Amino acid sequence: MKSKNKFYVTTPIYYPNDIPHIGHAYTTIAADVLARWNRLKEKDVFFLTGTDEHGKKIQEIAEKNKKTPKEFVDALIPKFKDAWKSLDIEYDKFIRTTDKEHERVVKELLQKVYDKGDIYLSKYEGYYCTGCEAYYTEKDLENGCCPIHKTKIEKLKEESYFFRLSKYQKPLLDFYKKNPNFISPENRKQEVINRVKEGLKDLSISRTSFDWGIPLPFDKKHFCYVWFDALFNYYSATREKGKEKFWPADVHLIGKDILWFHTVYWPAFLMSSGIELPKKVFAHGWWTFDKEKISKSRGKVINVGELTSIAGVDSARYFLFRAAPFGEDGDFSESALVDRHNNELANKLGNLISRVSTLAEKYGLEKTENKLLKKLKLKDIEKLLDNYEFDKALNEIFAFVDICNEYTQNKKPWETGSKKVLYELADSIKAITILLFSFIPSTSEKIAKQFNFEICYKNIKSPLKISKISKGEILFKKIENKEEEKINKSEKIEGIVNMAEVVEFNEWEKIDLRVAQIKKVEDIEGADKLYKLTINLGKELGERTICAGIKQHYSKEELKGKKIIVFTNLAPRKIKGIESKGMLLAAVNEGHSKVVLISPEKDMDAGARIS
Ligand code: MSP
């Protein structure tokens, strides 16, 4: 029996090759937001996450760490579970592809697809990127490298079983047509359809050159392609007793990079297995970190512990869904998170709660019709949440927080002691809190306790019961924006070479000092001590930008055309959103009141080395 009142949401199952980072956290929190929202609406929710543990990638990293693959992944699973706990993720099941039940279901379906004639033995000749766990053809490569990882790619020539993907081109196109909401967002859907229309090649689904995987039931020398194994997790999880009713999934949340696997391979595998298809695949955008691609090797990664340590769990959860539309890319920076924490959560929401609870504790409440609540666009917000437009939903909720703050300001309950005004505000806070619960659960629970209401859907509208309200703790403490701090520091140290410590000759040799000519001088918004300088470093190094804290010591006219000395290979730093690639040299007196630029004593070409 199918239940209409169920909601089944999944995250991708993550490769446990390292601890989870912001990208993994993003999908998992999104699934948690949807799960909480649907539980609130009294749906029977099943929220699945887990780990993708087989395949060459895991086998290789385990070998590097001198562990068996199983030992290696076993050690990482608690890190994933702890990370999700620390983010207040309430999943219903954590599946591992090494779970015996999952392996059993995959074998059963491999056999079924084989018996149907959709799997045949042949030879694979082509390329395989272990990083992607994906096959490539010659024309996909960039200078012989993987187009995603830019690393050398392995050429394969081996016996392999193939899945007749080509047979499913038409059924897939028909399915997309009949189910226009299957792929979201819309622009990504078109990309997939266009590519499918170009034609589909049969897919190699087994390898003999590694053994960390599920053996094919009809030929034990062959091990199952990791994506065939992995995708079936969504289905195998519902084979558990009592969970059958959840299939098909209501939505698979994934990142845009794995859309093809989920909207082409996955539905084709299901069609072949005779299993109903999921209702939707939603591909979200990618996060960059300080405008750069997230990359562990370049130190450009923010893991879950770092994410929550900046401004707390709820602020991190809130930021990720407020700062970028769910289907589009977003840029993460500590300073942007702190700004939203301070300006929206502390100043707007936190102040509203603190003011109203303090006054309600003092004066009490008196029941009245809540006219203020009519300004809450509840229907729109619900629609936005159901439509994955989280940023817009939060925007609407916060527009109502603004309205409540203005109302408080205008009605001045601290002067009038009006219990009715305070009731309207407290009752509105109830609605706000319930709507925010999916995003900031632990803060919402604290507010609900202060104002004595239960977090449930019907309470959004049902009037708040009069009870004693308590002031409570400060919900969001304001945080100093470290980026600003860094700028202040960098303004102080800009131009100073500290000679107090002994530097070995080989270290000194690493420093590249050059003559530079200042081409352009610009102000930087919000920085009263800094200039943005465009400098020319000659033929070899060309032009670049540096930021310098010399605004109080030099006018723009004095600087333009001036030759100065620049430390060129200093690690780039972001200052006020501008990448500063180098540092100019200046003499600075004790109290920093005098700053004098160092210039070549006679004219010298831009780019000349200082040695
Ligand atoms: N194991 C496969 C998924 C199999 S699902 C049947 C996999 N795992 S992964 O660990 O590499 O990536 C999981 C998810 O993290 C992907 O959805 C990917 O889009 C997401 N992200 C990785 N980096 C990301 C960002 N920088 N930003 C947002 N999400 C990103 O792929």
Which mean pLDDT values do the consecutive 10-residue runs of the chain (611 residues) have?
A: 81 96 97 98 98 95 96 97 98 98 98 98 90 86 87 88 98 98 96 97 93 97 96 98 97 97 98 98 96 81 95 98 97 96 97 97 97 98 98 98 97 96 98 98 97 97 95 91 58 39 65 94 88 93 92 92 93 86 89 87 91 83
Distance from CA of residue 451 to its chain's centroid? 33
CA proximity to 597, closest of 605, 585, 607: 585
CA proximity to 478, closest of 348, 330, 324: 348
pLDDT of residue 398: 98
Pairing of strands 251-255, 6-10: parallel
For residue 407, CA distances in Å to 355, 367, 459 come to 12, 17, 22
- Which ranges of 500-580 would DSSP assign to H, the alpha helix? 505-510, 538-541, 556-559
CA proximity to 109, closest of 255, 272, 334: 272
Q: Of the residues 232, 286, 329, 331, which should be mutated to test ligand 1's pocket, given the most ligand atoms within 8 Å of the CB?
A: 286
Indicate if the alpha-carbon torsion angle 454, 455, 459, 461 is positive or negative.
positive
pLDDT of residue 371: 97
The span from the CA of 354 to the CA of 374, in Å, is 22
Q: How many helices, marked H, and strands, marked E, lie in the chain?
A: 23, 25
The span from the CA of 534 to the CA of 29, in Å, is 42
Per the CB < 8 A criterion, the answer to whether 596 and 507 are in contact is no
Q: Is the CB of 230 under 6 A from ligand 1?
A: yes
The span from the CA of 438 to the CA of 220, in Å, is 46
Closest ligand 1 atom to residue 255 Cα is 19
Q: What is the pTM of this model?
A: 0.80
Phi, psi at residue 601, to the nearest 5°? -70, -35
Residue identified by tokens 């790619």 is 153
Enumerate the β-bridge partners of residue 157. 125
Per the CB < 8 A criterion, the answer to whether 228 and 269 are in contact is yes
Catalytic: 341? no
Q: Is the CB of 26 under 6 A from ligand 1?
A: yes
Q: How would you class 95 by CB atoms within 10 Å of its CB: exposed for 0-12, middle for 13-18, buried for 19 or more?
A: buried
Give the closest residue (by CA) to ligand 1 atom 24: 23
CA proximity to 317, closest of 288, 300, 337: 337
The span from the CA of 163 to the CA of 155, in Å, is 20
Helix axes 351-363, 390-411, angle to 10 degrees: 40
CA proximity to 322, closest of 470, 464, 440: 440
pLDDT of residue 506: 60
Per the CB < 8 A criterion, the answer to whether 431 and 424 are in contact is no
Measured in Å, residue 57 CA sits from the centre of ligand 1 at: 14
pLDDT digits (tens, 9 = 90+) for 367-406: 999 999 999 999 999 999 999 999 999 999 999 999 999 9
Helix (H) or strand (E) holding 167: none
Measured in Å, residue 27 CA sits from the centre of ligand 1 at: 8
Give the closest residue (by CA) to ligand 1 atom 10: 14
Q: What's the start-to-end Cα distance of the chain, in Å?
A: 81
Closest ligand 1 atom to residue 288 Cα is 26
Distance from CA of residue 131 to its chain's centroid? 20
Marked catalytic residue, from 56, 129, 252, 532: 129
Token code pair at residue 15: 């490769």
Q: Of the residues 27, 258, 288, which should be mutated to test ligand 1's pocket, given the most ligand atoms within 8 Å of the CB?
A: 258
Residue identified by tokens 């290789």 is 60
Long-range CB contacts (within 8 A, 24+) of 488-491? 490/547, 490/549, 490/573, 490/575, 491/527, 491/529, 491/530, 491/549
